[in-house]
Amino acid sequence: MEKIKLFAKNLLCFIETLFILYAGNIYSQKIIKPYEMENWYVPESEIDKIVFKTLKGKNLKFANPCSDEVFIRRIYLDTIGILPEPEKVINFINDKNPDKRKILIDELLEKKEFAEYWSMKWSDILRIKAEFPINLWPNGVQAYHSWILNSLMENKPYDKFVRELLTSSGSNFRNPPVNFYRAIQGRNPYSIASAICLTFMGVRFEKLPKEIQEGMSRIFSKVSYKKSLEWKEEIVYFNNELQEPVEGILPDGTKVKIPPDKDPREVFADWLIKPENPYFSKNIVNRIWSWIFGRGIIHQPDDITPENPPAIPELLTYLEKELVKSNYNLKHIYRIIFNSRTYQQSFIPESNNPELEKYFAYYSPKRLSAEVLLDIICKISGTGVEYISPIPEPYTFIPPEQRNVLLGDGSITGPFLELFGRPPRDTGYETERKNQIDEKQMRYLLNSSELHKKIQSSQYIRNLIKETKNDKKKIIENIYLTLLSRYPTQPEEEILSAYFNKSGISLNQAIEDIIWALINSKEFLYNH
């Protein structure tokens, strides 16, 4: 009996929220509430013109505009890696200002949490980790991570950021960017050249012609390391002992002869960060695009080869120009992408045609990253994380209120983070991070004692019961606003109200189960 009722309600829910789907055929451009809206109220941007032209040429259709509810959750996650508070969601939905999305984007980009969240990405690709195989050691990690965080906070121009990383000399504790040369397994000219090529050009070194590999390696043959009297301190310096010129080859094939007294790294950096350099701007704008859309205009973003052309070349060129024009202001790139309709499309594609993903004709849902997911769960439960690290140092006591995205050291970890695909930071490849759901993660979500205890001990539930004075409608509303950034639909509310009345389940247990179910839902687990 119970089951039949449930099924009936299921059906009801589907009819109310999604009936339009079945009324027409599933490929029609109907609006699916509460995820989509009918008309665009944001202006068309340059990006949209380019994408739209491409789609039209291929006879593909743009998805519908995403609703305000979907937008606010998405933009919070993509800028600062945090879910919006319920009040924020309510205010935003009710705000009548047609510029409200633009205003919100500006506001979020200026938050310190933006720098915090994106420092995680940079720490991944720069391989920040105290232990094997990178061996930065805890002090080096701390110095390097703070430097990156501060660079993002002050929105340091990207060319300056890279130049500092490539040309610095000195102590790993006192001049943090020198750690770039230390965060490489196998500190030899070949490995250094390979890391630079991957990180700042998006090119796999081993795919370049042998001659260029050798010529580029020679440019880094004068990078040396020496110990100091301080424990684990290391000095990175330009070693000119041999007084010999360096005959190197730049990745574009240009031969350079560098006199003995000139640090060859300077020559390389000068070449790299020139506006006309074919790799430099392309690499970073394509990466940012792929970080936001889960797919690069050139895909994979760190495997750029002539055989792997951009899906929309004009789009890439446009973004490159914008970067140079804005004086290498990365926030500008984020801003123009977030303000585009392309970004603000619904996550529901027109059909299952794979071309739609390739040409960005919808916002492809992304599973929340390990750190963000754990941050949300910890925030709701009011609990921290027990971290582990291979040796007594680095110390793994981290204040429970510190976000996981701020975990500077890749060697400090925990079972949850490992399970949900936090990258080991060994190679700097983008694919090191695993955001695919798998069966082990699923078992954890469905059946973990840890997760159950975290929900059970939730401060949030206690406050919720107190504040709503046991009002079940308000409880359901608040849970939905907190986890999904939207109000429940009528049928959802009915299903959940019925759950409260189930025999043998207390109020607390019912709330725990609802939160558990939502945490297990796709709408929650994906940024959509």
Partner 1 sequence: MREIYSVVTKTFLVLSLLFSEVTFPASEIKPKAKSVIQIWLWGGPSHLDTFDPKPNADYDYTGPFKSIPTNVPGIEINEYLVNLAKIADKYSIIRSMTHGINGHETAAYLMQTGHSAEENLVYPSIGAVVSLFKGYDYGYKNILPPYIVLTTSQGRFSECGFLGERYKPFVTGGDPNKTPFAVEGIVLEGVTEERKQARKELLYSIDLLGKFIPWIKEFKSFDLCREKAYEILSGEIAKVFDLTLEPDEIRNMYGRNTFGQSCLVARRLIEKGVIYVTVNYRGWDTHSNHFQQMKQKLPELDMGLSSLIKDLSDRGLLDSTIIWVSGEFGRTPKIQWEPPWNGGRNHYGKCFSVLVAGGGFKGGCVVGASDEKGENVIDRPVYPKDLLGSIYYLLGINPETKFPKEFGKDVTILPPIETGEKKGLLKEIMYE
449 burial class (0-12, 13-18, 19+ CB within 10 angstroms)? exposed
Question: Any idea what DSSP says for residue 301?
Answer: T
Whole-number Å distance between alpha carbons of 422 and 433: 6
User: DSSP letters along 351-410, please?
Assistant: SS-THHHHTTSS---EEPPHHHHHHHHHHHHT-----B-SSS-S-----TTS-GGG---T
Which CB atom, from 46 or from 432, has the smaller least distance to partner 1?
A: 432
Smallest gap from residue 415 Cβ to partner 1 (A): 6
Which CB atom, from 135 or from 329, has the smaller least distance to partner 1?
A: 135
Smallest gap from residue 147 Cβ to partner 1 (A): 25
Question: Any idea what DSSP says for residue 248?
Answer: E
Task: Find, among 323, 315, 291, the residue nearest to 158 by Cα.
Answer: 323
Which CB atom, from 113 or from 426, has the smaller least distance to partner 1?
A: 426
Which CB atom, from 65 or from 282, has the smaller least distance to partner 1?
A: 65
Smallest gap from residue 272 Cβ to partner 1 (A): 23
- Both structure tokens of 151: 């660079």
- Both structure tokens of 241: 């002992």
Give the length of the chain. Answer: 528
Which CB atom, from 263 or from 371, has the smaller least distance to partner 1?
A: 371
Which CB atom, from 207 or from 462, has the smaller least distance to partner 1?
A: 207
Smallest gap from residue 402 Cβ to partner 1 (A): 19
Which CB atom, from 94 or from 449, has the smaller least distance to partner 1?
A: 449
Measured between its terminal Cα atoms, the distance across the chain in Å is 35
Residue 431: phi, psi to the nearest 5?
-75, -5
Smallest gap from residue 513 Cβ to partner 1 (A): 4
For residue 259, count other CB atoms closer than 10 A to its CB.
11
Which CB atom, from 167 or from 413, has the smaller least distance to partner 1?
A: 413
HEC secondary structure over 112-156: HHHHHHHHHHHHHHCCCCCCCCCCCCHHHHHHHHHHHHHHHHCCC
Give the C-alpha distances (Å, rounded to integers) separating 232 from 130, 135, 226, 272, 389: 11, 10, 10, 31, 18
- Both structure tokens of 78: 């993509």
Smallest gap from residue 237 Cβ to partner 1 (A): 22
Which CB atom, from 13 or from 465, has the smaller least distance to partner 1?
A: 13
Whole-number Å distance between alpha carbons of 408 and 121: 11
Smallest gap from residue 505 Cβ to partner 1 (A): 7
Torsion (CA) 325, 330, 332, 335 in degrees, nearest 10 = 150
Smallest gap from residue 470 Cβ to partner 1 (A): 20
Smallest gap from residue 335 Cβ to partner 1 (A): 27
For residue 263, count other CB atoms closer than 10 A to its CB.
18
CA–CA–CA angle 328, 41, 313 (5° rounding): 40
**Distance from the Cα of residue 21 to its chain's centroid:** 32
Smallest gap from residue 246 Cβ to partner 1 (A): 22
Which CB atom, from 131 or from 430, has the smaller least distance to partner 1?
A: 131
Which CB atom, from 100 or from 187, has the smaller least distance to partner 1?
A: 187
Which CB atom, from 92 or from 416, has the smaller least distance to partner 1?
A: 416
Smallest gap from residue 189 Cβ to partner 1 (A): 12
Give me the residues paired with residue 320 across strands. Answer: none
Task: Find, among 261, 232, 262, 241, the residue nearest to 171 by Cα.
Answer: 232
Smallest gap from residue 43 Cβ to partner 1 (A): 28
- Contact criterion met (CB below 8 Å) for 345 and 48: no
Question: Any idea what DSSP says for residue 321?
Answer: H
Smallest gap from residue 179 Cβ to partner 1 (A): 18
Which CB atom, from 203 or from 267, has the smaller least distance to partner 1?
A: 203
- Contact criterion met (CB below 8 Å) for 268 and 399: no
